[in-house]
Each structure stands twice: as structure tokens, then as C-alpha cells.
Amino acid sequence: MLSRGHFSKINFRPTLITMEITKIPNKILAKKMEKVAVDDIKSGLYKGLISDMRTAMVENNGVGLAANQVGKDLRIFVVDKKLAEENNVPDAFINPEITEYSKESDEMEEGCLSVPDYWAQIKRAKKIKIKFIDENGTKQKIKAKGFLARVFQHETDHLNGLTIKERTAEVRLRTDLLSNK
Ligand SMILES: [Zn+2]
């Protein structure tokens, strides 16, 4: 997920671009990502990838990044380190699954590194519960609310093959249906 606020942090120091961000209509962005094996997490197989994803997210001023956004068919996403620290949660999520959504929702403008020059009001649940495996291979289940819950929903959407384009279309469709009544 891309946050407008982060534009203020852009620096002009030349950096080595480690990973290219996939953009729509790349097919990997429309695909459900494959689950990762716990043994492979424990053996450290994905440490390098997760580290590279963090770097790519920071270089591109994102607040979250899913593995298919760097061309990897894996159920992994990372979120902004500061956002994670503020909420006392990890910043890398493996095989995440949102298990509960609050009925209460709110709308906020979202952008996405994979959908350039596009911003849209997206309706999301205010609170969620998410289960996942952490970088050490330990199963965890946590609650999230507000902006963090929004980032989790945005990144989990990616791993299920959805971008904000589909979310926006869904809202438009719902509005159209309502106005036809
Ligand atoms: Zn995104």
C-alpha cells in the first residue's frame, strides 16, 4: 500500500533498485498466492526475500508490500517498520488469513505501488483479526484496528489476487445497484 504522507520522505540519494515492483495488468497480481511451508520458514529460506521486500517497500515509499508485487508467488507481506513498532506487532506476515472483520467500516483514500497514479476511497472494516506465521515460524493471531487494519486488508487482498482497482469497481457496482432501486 502506498501512503501519500510518505512522499515527504522521498530522498534523492541515488539508490540501488533491488527489486522491480510489478504493475497491473501483470497476471501475478490477479492470482491467489501459494502458501509457504513452515519448515522452509524455520530453515530461513525466506529471510533474504523478506529483507529485500522491506528494502523495496522503503525505496518506493510504501507502507506495505506483498510478495506478488515483487513477482514472487508466495503468501508473504511486509508492513512499515514504524507502523509495526507503534502497534507492537511484527512487520513480516507469512500465510496471513483474516479471520474476523468488524461490521463497522470506514473509508479512506488508498494508493498502491502496483497501480500507478491512481487513488481511490476504499471501504474497509475498522477492526480485524489476522492469523499468520511470523519470521521464526511461530503461529500468531492478533487484533488490529484503524490504519494498521487497513494495511493488513490491502496486503491480504494482494495475496488473494485483488488490487484497489477491483475494490473500487466493487464499491461502484454496489452503488449502482442501490441507485437502481
Ligand atoms: Zn497495493
- Domains in the chain: ranges and CATH: 4-179 (3.90.45.10)
Asked whether residue 8 carries a pLDDT value surpassing 60, the answer given is no
Nearest C-alpha neighbor of 53 from the set 72, 32, 27: 72
Q: What is the pTM of this model?
A: 0.88
Work out the percent of the chain whose per-residue pLDDT is above 90.
Answer: 81
Report the pLDDT averaged over residues 45-74: 96
Report the pLDDT averaged over residues 24-38: 97
Average pLDDT taken over every residue of the chain? 91
Report the pLDDT averaged over residues 139-164: 98
Q: For the chain, what is the largest distance between any 2 Cα atoms, rounded to a whole number of angstroms?
A: 56
Asked whether residue 112 carries a pLDDT value surpassing 80, the answer given is yes
Is 155 a known active-site residue?
yes
Q: Give the active site residue among 107, 155, 166, 170.
A: 155
What is the Cα–Cα distance from 113 to 116, expressed in whole angstroms?
A: 6
Q: Helices (DSSP H) in the chain: which residue ranges?
A: 38-42, 47-59, 81-86, 146-159, 164-179
